[in-house]
Structure 1
Amino acid sequence: MDSIADELFRERLYFKNAIPIDARSFILKSESSQTHRDILIKQTNRTMSVDTTILERQIDGVFCTDGMLHYSPVLRRVVYVYYYRNQYILADTNLARVNRFRTIDTTSRARIKVSIIDSDGSTTLGVPPVVVNRRSCVFGVWLFIQSGLVGDNEDPNDLSRYALMDVYNLATHQYKFSFYLPFAGRNQLTSFAVFENRIAAVYGQHLFAYEMRPDAFWD
């Protein structure tokens, strides 16, 4: 059977990230042309609705709200994980019902410094930011977050050898467990995805598959 691509966006729309909700709609992360702050948009082939309140400003409204956009078809919830604070967000597909939850890290306010470039007035990060949540992935009701920081009872050198993964149940809003994902040789983790009880992890040009114990996810 042949597939025909249809035009979805009828107008010019700049976006930073997009996730499909179904065959005719997307959730987009964009930047307001008026405030220049990050916003979320639901776009269909007929309508566009904009939300300016879900991503809460702490400093500049751009870098401080930066994060990763996901979707759980099982829960029919949009998931947003901040990079620089200990929070993730659940919202329905209309961006109407919104709930906010804390991760096990203690960094509630983004530790970033924003600088203005004199030549063109644009902004940039003045110093390397403190990354709380480095990468994330959603599968079913499970949220996997690669932590950017170690806990008080952990060895700081561990982050040079392993990716520290924290797992949360999005249905119960609870932290479940953590585990270490070893780096492949000297290559650090660059991306990962979860399928059932398997993790596909990319280290530079290498792809590895790991299997997790299924009983780890039993409640």
Structure 2
Amino acid sequence: MNSQRSRKNLVIQLVSYLFVLLFVYAAISKLLDFQNFHVQLSQSPLLSVFSSWIAVLVPIAELFTAILLIVPSFRLWGFYFSLILMGMFTVYIYIILHFSSFIPCSCGGVLEKMSWNVHLLFNLIFIVLAIWAILLCSKGNESNNFIGRHLKHIKIICFCLVFSAVSITMLFLSSENIMHYNNPFIRSYPVHAAEFIYEIDLKFNSYYFAGSDEKKVYLGNYTNPSQVLVIDNKSRQIKKVRILFNPDKILFKNVTISVRDSSFYLFDGSVPKYFQGSLKNWKINNEFNGFPYFTKAVPLDDVSAVFRSNNAKNSANVLGIYNASDESGKIRYKRDLLERQTDGIFDTDGMLMYSSKLEKIVYLYYYRNEFIIADKLGSLSYRGHTIDTIKNVKIKTASLKNDTERTISSPVYIVNAHSAIYKNLLFVNSKIRGRNEIDKLWERSSIIDLYDIKTNKYLLSFPVYHIGKKGLRSLTITEENLYALIGKTLVVYKFSDIIKKEILSH
């Protein structure tokens, strides 16, 4: 009898020592590299919103549990706390592997040395050890069967496991909702969301993206408007084409080329002129008469376009729809879309885009965390927000030449610098740092935030790395790739399944 009791005590001590070793090692590892642990937690798809207090609470809980296990009179409580902690860690890993949008880097102590699947098995083994130790610690009653003798402790074990599962699940659901819809400005960085594959030296920095499709990317040239570079997505071959066009002495000032479907469009809002041609022969064959002066324009289809002009009061920006087939009036201004905060000019400046798949117009402000989604006719669908907290523009303006000109009189505080749209995905190059973000990442790259405009949801972020001191100046998207202009170089990134599965997945 004494021999059996001695073996039981020996097992209890060995299990308790294993847990003490595990928790002390894990807690000290986290505390010694607390900043890295905090950053890794902030990038977790489950806990990023709560990373600040979880980063402190977890090592404290581990050390507290280790102390309980060391003191014999509190050892049973220590095993219960051990069961709760290991249950939480196990449920966390299970959700990461099966329900998370991506699998993050591991964080803290032993976990860094194991894969997620191995650590899941490791945790399950320790859960079994904790349950075994609890049952060995329990004195039981006089019942003849095992369950009857240990019913009280079995109930507590079940409560601990259910509590662990429910608490982590609730954190996950709450974090998902906050991150995607009520974000406190914490970015989510999946590992290898977009990977560099190749680059092309264009020799000049005057190129811009004129358009792209599943087979080709088109580059216009500001200094040579009649020339277009056509890049094959698969073979990577570059072809130069020349637009066949006799402008008839039109004094163009700022020609832009845009490619959509089987057509290309040549326009200059300062003239104003807007032409259409075919990609088959790169020849202009149609002019859209009656087009107003504009500062930006994006083709919608073969007969219509969305544009921005200074036609509003005090030369403020306004969006409009041009439709050559509309007999009642080719031009319809949508004066309720752009909302002014100061002057109506600089504060409403932004980027104009169009998703042909969803037939949605997108306007993203430069200086505030807002974008506008409208249908093809210019009717507002909704106003969305980027995840940063800059709701109001941080610029001051001044009048020149007897109030005939306006200029910015304070340093420009850009929120959204560049953007591109592909089907339901809006790619935004943000200039605003989020919480817990590493200095070197911002020094070496341009951060791209990804949004689903169909569900008005933030998805994830990833970096596009600089070349030397040159940063991103433009981007375009295809189903497989991100194309970025960085200085004189065209850089191509390939999307992982994390991004590709988000394309019209909802």
Place the TM-score, normalised by the shorter chain, in its bin.
Answer: over 0.9
| Structure 2 counterpart of 1:200, one-letter code | Y
Identical-pair percentage: 32
In the TM superposition, what is the alpha-carbon distance from 1:66 to its structure 2 partner? 0.4
- Of 449, 455, 461 in structure 2, the residue corresponding to residue 166 of structure 1 is 449
In the TM superposition, what is the alpha-carbon distance from 1:34 to its structure 2 partner? 4.2
1:6 equivalent in alignment to 2:286: yes
Query: Residues 56-75 of structure 1 correspond to what in structure 2 (within 5 A)?
Result: 56-75=339-358
Alignment correspondent of 2:470: 187
Query: Residues 100-119 of structure 1 correspond to what in structure 2 (within 5 A)?
Result: 100-118=383-401
SS in 2 for 1:74: coil
| Aligned equivalents of 1:36, 1:191: Cα separation in 2 | 27
Deviations 1:65-109 (A, max 9, x none): 000000001111000100011011100111123310111000000
Q: Is the 8 A contact 2:312 2:335 kept in 1?
A: no
Alignment correspondent of 2:432: 149
Gaps of 5+ in 1: none
Number of aligned residue pairs: give it.
218
| Structure 2 counterpart of 1:28, one-letter code | F
For normalisation by structure 1, the TM-score amounts to 0.93
| Aligned equivalents of 2:284, 2:316: Cα separation in 1 | 36
Deviations 1:113-141 (A, max 9, x none): 10112466311011221111010000111
Residue 55 and residue 181 in structure 1: after superposition, are their counterparts in 2 closer, same or farther (change >3 A)?
A: same
Q: Is the 8 A contact 2:479 2:500 kept in 1?
A: no
Gaps of 5+ in 2: 1-279
Alignment correspondent of 2:322: 43
In the TM superposition, what is the alpha-carbon distance from 1:161 to its structure 2 partner? 1.1
Tell me the C-alpha RMSD between the 2 structures. Answer: 1.7
Which of the two has greater helix per residue? 2
1:25 equivalent in alignment to 2:304: yes
Which of the two has higher C-alpha Rg? Answer: 2
| Aligned equivalents of 1:118, 1:75: Cα separation in 2 | 44
Residue 156 and residue 104 in structure 1: after superposition, are their counterparts in 2 closer, same or farther (change >3 A)?
A: same
For normalisation by structure 2, the TM-score amounts to 0.41
Q: Is the 8 A contact 1:150 1:156 kept in 2?
A: no
Residue 121 and residue 92 in structure 1: after superposition, are their counterparts in 2 closer, same or farther (change >3 A)?
A: same
Alignment correspondent of 1:96: 379
In the TM superposition, what is the alpha-carbon distance from 1:197 to its structure 2 partner? 2.5
User: Which one is further off, 58-67 or 178-187?
Assistant: 178-187
Residue 35 and residue 121 in structure 1: after superposition, are their counterparts in 2 closer, same or farther (change >3 A)?
A: closer
SS in 2 for 1:35: helix
Which of the two has greater strand per residue? 1
In the TM superposition, what is the alpha-carbon distance from 1:152 to its structure 2 partner? 2.2
